[in-house]
Structure 1
């Protein structure tokens, strides 16, 4: 029997950081399951120049075929239209040469191409939506719908969202919360189509106690005067649009009152000046803050220094479709999480598994109540936390879910 041929289209580049963590591992796994995987991506020239050889080696070793266009940045809107044209032209050329069985589209821009390919060539169309794209742009203050142009763009993408879901042979959602929202929409009730939930998974082989560099851990502790008696709260990742730095610092200040030996470790490649400015405003001493700009292979070691790890995300409508990868990575290291409700399936996971503290509001009393529970995290076994991460977020389980979707389509 010949291999099932899959064209995976992504507007994110394989040479982007996201491509390396959230695209390639899944596709390598699917290739190992016997699928003939072809990738069509939009690469940013600077990333492509710096990482192309590394990514090409991974791709070649996995038997995957990689085609790409170069991402166009300017002018806004017109550049995206031009990229859709380039992706579409390349996708049809590849389909003519390979006769794909499935086109798997990561997010909305790619779906413009995938839907057209389905309509013209009758391939099976998988819409891997990744979130509510248009609502993210509004909630993130990228599109101001008070502006006539952005209002029309928002309305256009919401219409396309319905079209993609209605015409997809399978829609992939990151969360059950988003799935339930889609199923409540009138158009979906009239003509439902299958939806599978595949959360953002983590490479749990990388995020493992086995990969802790004891020399690095000791070096960081000595350099930052961390003793075994200190309570280390950590934050992992960027501090962009969605992360609530003020509220996380407020939590830490309250924690410092209860635990004078508390220190806040930021594992981030972002500029730390904004953290220092905000900390100074609420009178957090600078010596209580530790910053480390880490390479990916160093992150497991740094997380392991923590007693708990925190992330507060703006609980907007669009975040109902969000699945924070850092949650999987932190739990895999045996560290409990402190997070907030209203984001993806976080409430459900924390309440069902008892793997951390989930705060509902950010007023001072709610923060105090959460801090008062923090000692209860000490009794949670690291092995248990890792097992929860394996059960819910392992890369293998994500690959298996995609495999089951593909099998239902062929």
Structure 2
């Protein structure tokens, strides 16, 4: 006999569980929610180059939980054709699993896999959550990856799909309040159907600042103990313009001539490496590029003094919720960010001394003003961690999603 207090959720993610995002923004949540009488089946698309090396670690992490992982291979070798076959393979797996498991809810992380959730809802009546994770279609086209007139029909099609998911989903999840306002303003979904939860931080992984950890990393990287370090943690290239980071660093050098720039980047796209090498020759080798596994990122953050948040300011930034903001704070460092990224302006203004906003990234004086504000008027490391715990605690996300699931199931059972 079925335990009707237990909720069966099919979780679909284009990001792999062996990717850093899969570990920080999927597994970290689902492991906690699964202790609340929720049973998960995860279908994710894994990049072969990282899957092989991390598969065993993810399997070990999920062992003993009520989470079953079904990894499928990710490929974008043939662009749209690859995507088509990914979704075909995904649907076969999804339908096969549902016929055996009879899911209560399909939780779709981002737009492409929402195609599968939509089919599961329309064909089998499964409750459908469209967890949009930002404005994916606009991000892709604004990045230049899909530019030119030939792609306009594709853009229109994907946007129509997005609106179909808004209207069909039982619940829509936005990372930002500004994103929710945009959906409501256009009438794509009713306000009471949309929930907002920012990307959260796993505080078990992002440990508090310690002077000992700071010393270890600085010795490893050859950074003097008394040096000021500006850090950028994240991908480089595309929407993450290395030249804008250099602008901020050059302005910082005018305040603190011996400052270092630490680029903690697992993904470096295009000709960024060449740009870094060229810039480093003018910065007298004070630009350090390295990478770290997700579990070790906080060690490099605590070795730093100020964190950079960066996205190109285009339409899609209304949906951006930079995970690194909470991670920086949790590690005891304030932030500097261009104004206009998702809810970041509101968050920084709410938590005094936590960061500063660059009003105009193209204006050197604007950058200098923002740096002066945060370098000389920041709060202490303990206060920053408290800010992070208040706004970015992963337990907030756990409570949010558990309530979302139970609300959907309650309504379903009352109507049946």
* Same fold, TM-score > 0.5, yes or no: yes
How far did 1:405 drift?
Answer: 0.8
- What corresponds to 1:173 in structure 2? 174
For residues 12-51 of structure 1, the aligned pairs below 5 Å read 12-51=15-54
What SS is found at the alignment partner of 2:285? helix
For residues 87-98 of structure 1, the aligned pairs below 5 Å read 87-98=90-101
Cα deviation 1:8-57 (Å, max 9, x = unaligned):
11122222222122111111111011101111122233333222221112
- What corresponds to 2:396 in structure 1? 397
Q: Give 5+ residue unaligned stretches, structure 1.
A: none
How far did 1:246 drift?
Answer: 1.8
- What corresponds to 2:237 in structure 1? 240
How far did 1:262 drift?
Answer: 2.0
- What corresponds to 2:149 in structure 1? 147
- What corresponds to 2:254 in structure 1? 257
How far did 1:359 drift?
Answer: 1.0
- Greater shift in the superposed pair: 72-81 or 290-299: 290-299
- What corresponds to 1:104 in structure 2? 107
- What corresponds to 2:70 in structure 1? 67
1:340 to 325, 338, 341: 338
Change in Cα spacing, 1:333 to 1:97, as seen in structure 2 (3 Å) is same
How many residues align? The count is 400
**1:83 and 2:83 correspond:** no
The answer to whether the Cα contact below 8 Å between 2:356 and 2:371 also exists between their aligned partners in 1 is no
Cα deviation 1:306-335 (Å, max 9, x = unaligned):
221122221111111011111111000111
- What corresponds to 1:293 in structure 2? 291
- Greater shift in the superposed pair: 312-321 or 212-221: 212-221
- What corresponds to 2:357 in structure 1? 358
How far did 1:270 drift?
Answer: 5.0
How far did 1:213 drift?
Answer: 8.2
How far did 1:393 drift?
Answer: 1.1
Q: Matches of 2:296 and 2:22 in 1, distance apart?
A: 19
How far did 1:69 drift?
Answer: 2.6
The answer to whether the Cα contact below 8 Å between 2:217 and 2:299 also exists between their aligned partners in 1 is no
- Greater shift in the superposed pair: 264-273 or 307-316: 264-273
- What corresponds to 1:373 in structure 2? 373
Q: Give 5+ residue unaligned stretches, structure 2.
A: 410-416
Cα deviation 1:90-137 (Å, max 9, x = unaligned):
111111111111111111111111111111111110001111111111
- What corresponds to 2:224 in structure 1? 226
- What corresponds to 1:56 in structure 2? 59
Q: Matches of 2:7 and 2:188 in 1, distance apart?
A: 32
Q: How high is the TM-score relative to the length of structure 2?
A: 0.90
Change in Cα spacing, 1:369 to 1:193, as seen in structure 2 (3 Å) is same
Q: Matches of 1:219 and 1:76 in 2, distance apart?
A: 40
- Greater shift in the superposed pair: 195-204 or 297-306: 297-306
Change in Cα spacing, 1:219 to 1:327, as seen in structure 2 (3 Å) is closer
Q: Matches of 1:27 and 1:234 in 2, distance apart?
A: 29
The answer to whether the Cα contact below 8 Å between 1:243 and 1:311 also exists between their aligned partners in 2 is no
The answer to whether the Cα contact below 8 Å between 1:168 and 1:193 also exists between their aligned partners in 2 is no
Q: How high is the TM-score relative to the length of structure 1?
A: 0.91
Cα deviation 1:116-160 (Å, max 9, x = unaligned):
11111111100011111111111111111x322x11110001001
Change in Cα spacing, 1:218 to 1:35, as seen in structure 2 (3 Å) is closer
Alignment RMSD (CA, Å): 2.0
Q: Matches of 1:289 and 1:70 in 2, distance apart?
A: 36
